[in-house]
């Protein structure tokens, strides 16, 4: 049967297995996407969502087993030549990857990334015209065009994700595949990006395949949702019907987890002595300019707060507001221009190298981008064991025992299935859980979580947050929880700080931030937070 003329994409009985793997990653997948339609593919981490995107672009490893058809405008992608596929990628299919950090060349400026994409497909255009288009794309995704000559490492995780989105929409493709496009963005920018993608679909008749674990986000922006479980679609319905009356077991679990997350029930604890004090902290970065006229980016400007044992402090703000800069400064990974960071009353800037190394055992961090924070040549278990060996705390055999225990605790069970894998061999959500296990291996007193659950589906988010809460209670752990998701912060944290352009815009208890936001930014974040409850 020929593909309908209205079908942009038609996946027919598609099965796939990676080289060396026994089981199928995708098993008999059937999915149709019509012109101008927005469809969300929802599933837990490791369900095969990202594999669908890779298969459609034919960027799967050589030797992979594939069966079935991948029809784009009626033509099978599996039968196309490499040269034809190069034209398809970008012009006909725009892909927004889940992990922007590993997709951008660290030696190229942001502007050059966009120029290269335009040159590869629109070589007839002048250089000045392409530069104007590149600046227009940056502005569309919320980046000041003046950052055209900046490098990826000078951008926050959220800003790098916006660059990836700009690259995907550069050629106005008829099909956009968005693989977790907003997982590292704050809710305000997430709303803006999804609105932009929706407008693109409406204006050009483009279709959107949104791959996500966020049920609330998907229900807001997509007409239909398909639930993927272990490589199979177990339910496919309109977004409204699926939210109101889910039929499959997994859909019911995801809806229940999303509703639970939206209820403001901060964890209870007993706060102890002050473990961390931040006093008028400043982190300023010089802008390129003449020596006698240097401008400054005030990433963190006169920020003060304290943290007690057993307390969870949420730090919320839009991308680029200084959240990641702050946590790196707390760990001494970034120089400060003024102010103090005191750990158990000791000023970290005055400690010698040996004393600082010992102090860092008490303060560990879960980074925003797990793939970039893991050594690509180290196995999962070696990545977790490494901090113990660096500090010389126990033998390698004992360290591996502890690592296996933590793998089980963060949901990578049985641990034998994961411990010998390399980071690229596990999903983004699984990578994040490895990063969390590594942060916990030194038994820290303070855990700094920089978007630590942003790449996980709602169900796994709840499990990880429950784990952190249990560890906090048992170990007297203090947590700084940095996130762009106000609903997660309000349900997990005792106190929330809203950061705006490097300064504290508001500080209040978690329930007050949600129910009675006072600052303009807090009100904006509350309004932009996607929720499933209003749909019902």
What's the pLDDT tens digit per position in 96-138?
A: 877 666 778 999 999 999 999 998 888 778 888 999 999 999 9
250-275 pLDDT tens trace: 888 888 877 766 554 444 565 678 89
Q: What is the pLDDT of residue 184?
A: 61
Three-class secondary structure of residue 257 per DSSP: helix
Query: Residue 49 is encoded by which pair of tokens?
Result: 């969502």
Structural contact between residues 455 and 98, judged by C-beta atoms closer than 8 angstroms: yes
Q: What CATH code would you report for 262-351+445-452+467-536?
A: 3.40.50.300
Residue 54: its H or E element: helix 49-56
The residue with tokens 């400043």 is: 282
The reply to whether 262-351+445-452+467-536 shares the fold of 35-67+81-256 is: yes
Q: What is the pLDDT of residue 289?
A: 57
Cβ contacts of residue 43 below 8 Å, gap of 6+?
A: 49, 213, 227, 228, 229, 250, 457
Cβ contacts of residue 366 below 8 Å, gap of 6+?
A: 432, 435, 436, 439, 447, 448, 449, 450, 452
Q: What is the pLDDT of residue 280?
A: 93
Q: How far apart are CA 490 and CA 264, in angstroms?
A: 6
Helix axes 428-440, 458-475, angle to 10 degrees: 0
Give the class (CATH, top level) of 35-67+81-256. alpha beta
Residue 473: its H or E element: helix 458-475
Q: What is the pLDDT of residue 373?
A: 85
Structural contact between residues 147 and 320, judged by C-beta atoms closer than 8 angstroms: no
Q: What is the pLDDT of residue 1?
A: 38
Q: What is the pLDDT of residue 9?
A: 94
Structural contact between residues 3 and 35, judged by C-beta atoms closer than 8 angstroms: no
Query: Residue 362 is encoded by which pair of tokens?
Result: 């008490």
Residue 274 CB neighbour total at 10 angstroms: 15
Length of the chain: 536
Three-class secondary structure of residue 120 per DSSP: helix
Give the residue extent of every domain in the chain.
35-67+81-256, 262-351+445-452+467-536, 363-443
Per-run averaged pLDDT (10 residues), the chain, 536 residues: 67 92 90 92 84 91 92 92 89 81 86 92 85 90 89 83 86 88 72 78 84 85 92 92 91 80 53 85 75 73 91 86 84 84 87 84 83 90 94 91 89 90 86 88 89 72 78 83 83 88 88 85 81 53
Q: Would strands 7-17 and 224-229 be described as parallel, antiparallel, or unpaired?
A: unpaired
Q: What is the pLDDT of residue 237?
A: 92
Q: How far apart are CA 47 and CA 451, in angstroms?
A: 22
Structural contact between residues 266 and 490, judged by C-beta atoms closer than 8 angstroms: yes
Cβ contacts of residue 510 below 8 Å, gap of 6+?
A: 264, 266, 314, 489, 490, 491, 492, 493, 494, 495, 496
């Amino acid at each position: 049967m020929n593909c309908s003329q209205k079908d942009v994409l038609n996946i027919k009985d598609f099965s796939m297995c990676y080289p060396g793997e026994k089981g199928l990653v995708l098993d008999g997948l059937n999915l149709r996407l019509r012109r101008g339609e927005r469809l969300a593919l929802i599933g837990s981490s490791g369900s095969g969502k990202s594999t669908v995107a890779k298969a459609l672009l034919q960027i799967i490893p050589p030797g992979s087993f594939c069966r079935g058809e991948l029809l784009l405008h009626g033509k099978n992608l599996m039968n196309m030549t490499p040269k034809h596929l190069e034209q398809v990628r970008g012009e006909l299919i725009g892909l927004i990857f889940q992990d922007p950090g590993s997709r951008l060349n660290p030696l190229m400026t942001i502007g050059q990334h966009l120029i290269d994409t335009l040159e590869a497909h629109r070589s007839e255009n002048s250089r000045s015209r392409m530069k104007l288009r590149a600046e227009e794309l940056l502005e569309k995704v919320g980046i000041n065009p003046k950052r055209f000559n900046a490098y990826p490492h000078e951008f926050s995780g959220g800003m790098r994700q916006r660059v990836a989105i700009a690259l995907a929409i550069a050629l106005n493709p008829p099909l956009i595949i968005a693989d977790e496009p907003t997982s590292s963005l704050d809710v305000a920018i997430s709303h803006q990006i999804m609105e932009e993608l929706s407008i693109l679909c409406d204006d050009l008749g483009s279709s959107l395949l949104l791959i996500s674990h966020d049920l609330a986000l998907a229900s807001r922006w997509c007409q239909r949702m398909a639930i993927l479980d272990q490589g199979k679609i177990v339910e496919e319905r309109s977004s409204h019907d699926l939210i109101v009356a889910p039929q499959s077991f997994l859909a019911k679990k995801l809806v229940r987890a999303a509703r639970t997350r939206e209820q403001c029930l901060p964890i209870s604890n007993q706060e102890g002595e002050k473990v961390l004090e931040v006093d008028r902290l400043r982190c300023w970065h010089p802008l390129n300019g003449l020596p006698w006229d240097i401008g400054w980016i005030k990433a963190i400007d006169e920020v003060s707060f304290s943290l007690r044992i057993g307390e969870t402090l949420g730090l919320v703000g839009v991308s680029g507001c200084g959240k990641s800069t702050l946590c790196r400064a707390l760990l001494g990974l970034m120089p400060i221009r003024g102010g103090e960071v005191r750990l158990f009353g000791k000023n970290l800037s005055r400690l010698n190298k040996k004393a600082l190394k010992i102090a860092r055992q008490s303060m560990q961090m879960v980074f925003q981008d797990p793939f970039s924070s893991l050594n690509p040549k180290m196995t999962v278990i070696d990545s977790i064991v490494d901090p113990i060996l660096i500090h010389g705390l126990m033998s390698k055999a004992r360290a591996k025992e502890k690592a296996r225990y933590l793998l089980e605790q963060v949901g990578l069970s049985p641990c034998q299935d994961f411990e010998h894998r390399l980071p690229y061999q596990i999903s983004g959500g699984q990578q994040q859980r490895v990063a969390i296990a590594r942060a916990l291996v030194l038994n820290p007193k303070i855990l700094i979580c920089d978007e630590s659950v942003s790449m996980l589906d709602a169900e796994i988010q709840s499990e990880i947050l429950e784990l952190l809460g249990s560890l906090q209670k048992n170990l007297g752990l203090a947590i700084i929880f940095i996130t762009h998701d106000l609903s997660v912060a309000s349900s997990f944290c005792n106190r929330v700080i809203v950061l705006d352009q490097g300064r504290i815009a508001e500080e209040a208890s978690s329930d007050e931030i949600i129910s009675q936001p006072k600052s303009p930014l807090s009100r904006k974040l509350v309004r932009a937070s996607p929720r499933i409850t209003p749909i019902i």
